[in-house]
Chains A and B, each alone.
Chain A
Amino acid sequence: MRKIAIALAASLALAGPALAADKVRIGTEGAYPPFNQIDASGKLIGFDIDIANALCAEMKVTCEFVTQDWDGIIPGLLAKKYDAIIASMSITDERKQKVDFTDRYYSNSLSFIRKKGASIEQANLKGKTLGAQRATIAAEHIEKMYGKNVDVKLYDTQENAFLDLEAGRIDVMVVDFGVGYNWLNSDAGKGFEFFGKNADVGDHIGIAIRKGDKELADKFNAAIKAIRASGVYSKINAKYFPFDIY
């Protein structure tokens, strides 16, 4: 009876042990260009994906990607849907209570975007509608800095937030600089511009892993150092940005 029950459980559960020796499952979002997104052939592409593949090659393991909506990405890691998150996640104290992080693999500041020529300054945001993705440091920053003085709209994906900026539903977008830079250089971003000073919240982007999974953290840290030293990192960097984002 016990055997049957276990067999049943095993057949229901399509994935076996979480971490086979040479396979690492990586959770990412797939809706955060240019860091991670899905192209017309259904393939994951972007800076995060290239870095992840380079790290896995360095660690001599096979990487398997799992896509997951952003607001479920940490719960997914905790529920062992994957072993690491490589999805442009900021290292924050709140998150550190739930997960561990590796060293950073790039740095970020928060940028502000408005319609070209709009008379909006960082000093007079009162009463304006600010948009950001749900469960991000941008959302947190808005809440902390402007709180109840502004109208905040939070989105499931950054792409949906940009659609609404374009549609004029929000006045100001607060977003990771690299993402904003990429969008402003796309067709959709033509009528918009950065304004004010970027908010430097000391933001470092790392790889999130489950608490106590030190072995995996060490491996990732060693691999990050290795690709920084070998020049693989700067090649990937140059593919997406004309400036150093480390």
Chain B
Amino acid sequence: MFDLKGFGDQLLLGALMTVGLALSVLCVGTILGLAGAIAKLSKSAPARFAAETYTAVLRGIPELLIVLVIYFGSSGLLTAAAEAMGHDGFVELSPFAAGVTALSLVFGAYATEVFRGAILAIPKGQIEAARAIGMNRRLVFLRVTLPQLWRVALPGLGNLFLVSQKDTALVSVIGLEELTRKAAFATGFTKAPFTFYMAAAVLYLTITSVTMVGLHLAERRASRGMPGMRG
């Protein structure tokens, strides 16, 4: 269909990098989101305030800016932090680490809301029952809330994952050789922008489609034994 002029392998390599980046963001972002939700629902006012600020700021600034600021700003901050801890020398984030950090912060901000909603969706009665048999709050969270959280949060997290897969394209601007950057390199070499950006689009659509099928299966599995939950 397309004449990729030998750049096909490069595009596939780029797509692999895109998938790796997206999966890393999913892992780190989920942890951030869980922490954010716990903070938002906590009794401590400073924790709630910190979490509110985090979600408001990260959801209101373009992802492109966040990626750029983390990449260029992190080394100064990290080096200062390391020096404060008595470590001299230079620390920095590679484009991959900076990309994961930036997109995870964004993912976490949205996931905070997803998890908050999911925690609130767990019937009060279950928590009261657990408290009644003598579980402390920690144990209630670990044994009652957390295991059920996934089922409720899965559709929301799935959507966020689809969004962040596309956001990985922004990491191309800080030099990570993922799919979009590979397509841009190929365009520069061959002067055929439509061909390569369309090829990249097809690869993104493939990644999206596979993810959608995977999410569908995961949702089915998560809601097994819950006949009312099936669509």
Contacts and interface: CB of A to CB of B under 8 A. Distances in A.
Contacts of A2: 85-86
Interface of B: 5-7, 9-10, 13, 68, 71-72, 75-76, 78, 81-82, 85-87, 89-94, 96-97, 173-175, 177, 182, 184-189, 191, 193
Contacts of B7: 40
Given A12-B97, A79-B75, A81-B92, A42 B188 contact: no
A37 to B, nearest CB: 6
A68 interface: yes
A81 B177 CA distance: 16
Contacts of B94: 14-15
Interface in A201-238: none
Interface residue range, chain A:
35 or more
B12 to A, nearest CB: 11
A66 interface: yes
Contact of A13 (B97, B187, B188): B97
Given A13-B92, A66-B175, 17 more contacts: A6-B82, A6-B86, A9-B85, A12-B91, A17-B90, A31-B184, A38-B185, A40-B10, A40-B186, A41-B10, A42-B177, A79-B92, A80-B92, A157-B188, A159-B187, A163-B187, A187-B191
Contact of B93 (A6, A12, A17, A160): A12
A69 B188 contact: no
Interface of A: 2, 5-6, 9-10, 12-18, 30-31, 33, 37-42, 66-69, 72, 75-76, 79-81, 157, 159-160, 162-163, 166, 187-188
Contacts of A157: 184, 188
A13 B78 contact: yes
Tell me the interface secondary structure of chain B in the complex: helix
B89 to A, nearest CB: 5
A76 B72 contact: yes
B174 A159 contact: no
A18 B88 CA distance: 12
17 contacts: A2-B85, A6-B82, A12-B93, A14-B94, A18-B89, A31-B185, A31-B188, A37-B188, A40-B6, A40-B186, A41-B10, A42-B13, A72-B68, A80-B75, A157-B188, A159-B188, A188-B191
Given A15-B94, A17-B89, A72-B174, A79 B76 contact: yes
A5 B85 CA distance: 8
A19 B71 CA distance: 19
Contact of B72 (A42, A66, A75): A75
Nearest to B7: A40
A9 B93 contact: no
Nearest to B191: A188
Nearest to A158: B188
Given A38-B185, A159-B188, A80 B90 contact: yes
B189 A69 contact: no
Which 5 residue pairs of A and B lie closest in terms of their CB atoms, listed nearest first?
A159-B188, A40-B6, A13-B91, A14-B94, A38-B185
A17 B90 CA distance: 5
Contacts of B193: 163
Contact of B191 (A12, A68, A69, A166): A166
B226 to A, nearest CB: 39
Given A9-B87, A80-B75, A40 B189 contact: yes
A6 B81 CA distance: 9
A24 to B, nearest CB: 15
A159 B85 CA distance: 45
